Amino acid sequence: MLPAIAITALGQEFDAVSVKPSDPNRSGGTVVNLTPGAGLRVSNATLKDMIETAYDVRSFQIVGGPSWVAQTRYDVTATAGPKQAAPASSEVRLRAQGMLKDRFQLQLHRETRNESIYSLVVANGGIKPGFALTDSPHRGVNAGKGTMIGEAASMADLISKLSRLLDRPVVNNTGLEGKYDFKLEWTPDVGPPSDGQPAEGGLGPSLFSAVQQQLGLRLEATKGPVEILVIDHVERPSEN
């Protein structure tokens, strides 16, 4: 087992922190915002959601702990206080880690495990015209339900968004560089192909099929090293 993570450096704490259980009757989604110079604002989020943001990982990289870690929801407000220079996003992230250690008694360690991943490769026939190389200023990727639009997006932007949508690590093995414009449309909740062929379902293609048909790329299921955060100890916070 690797040693426990050093959560925060000296002096990197929030000036004021409020932690309360969320109203179970509240409507609306989960919000976890880290804002340089302002602090942390959490609404209707689980501890697992907060760990994901504080450590810049995906939910599939967090294991261990009691069931309430992924079920009980909280509202948190943490302020950094006035300073001559606003703390950078990396410092706010460290402060959020320190808050989780202080208020939830959170202790973690890192492991690298051989887990299920997806390898993104160029499909037979090469990339499609709709996946167009561009020299426009970088803007990135925006995704909604069943739609993804890239504007001068890097391959790192694309695999990050695919990883979040698929809840599994995606590794770029395309060999492609540069920035791309593209539009990807699929039917949500249609799973991966089971026979090596693009899967179809509902009113349109699955995400797997869309990536191949519309971009000329292919997601291949495989195994690879994944960094995991293991929860060693955690306690419910006292309300204030």
pLDDT recorded at residue 78: 87
pLDDT recorded at residue 201: 46
Beta strands in 36-137 (DSSP E): 39-46, 62-64, 73-79, 107-122, 132-134
Token look-up 């294991």 returns 63
pLDDT recorded at residue 197: 47
CA distance 110 to 120: 25
DSSP H/E element including 17: strand 16-21
Show me where the domains of the chain are located: 16-112+227-233, 127-215
User: Within the chain, what is the greatest distance between any pair of CA atoms?
Assistant: 60
**pTM (2 d.p.):** 0.75
Token look-up 């739609």 returns 147
Render each residue's pLDDT in the chain as its tens digit; 240 residues: 334 444 334 346 788 889 999 988 776 677 788 776 667 889 999 999 999 999 989 999 999 999 999 999 999 988 876 654 555 667 888 888 999 999 999 999 999 999 999 999 999 999 999 999 999 999 999 998 899 999 999 999 999 999 999 999 999 999 999 999 999 999 987 666 554 444 444 567 999 999 999 999 999 999 999 999 999 999 999 766
pLDDT recorded at residue 11: 44
CA distance 26 to 100: 23
Token look-up 């809840």 returns 167
Among 90, 85, 26, 81, which residue's Cα sits nearest to residue 53?
90
pLDDT recorded at residue 177: 94
Orientation of helix 89-104 relative to helix 47-54, angle to 10°: 150
CA distance 203 to 38: 44
pLDDT recorded at residue 117: 97
pLDDT recorded at residue 87: 56
CA dihedral of 204, 147, 163, 49, whole degrees rounded to 10: -120
Written as one string, the DSSP assignment of 172-229 is E-S---SEEEEEEE--TT----SSSS--EETTEE-HHHHIIIIISEEEEEEEEEEEEE
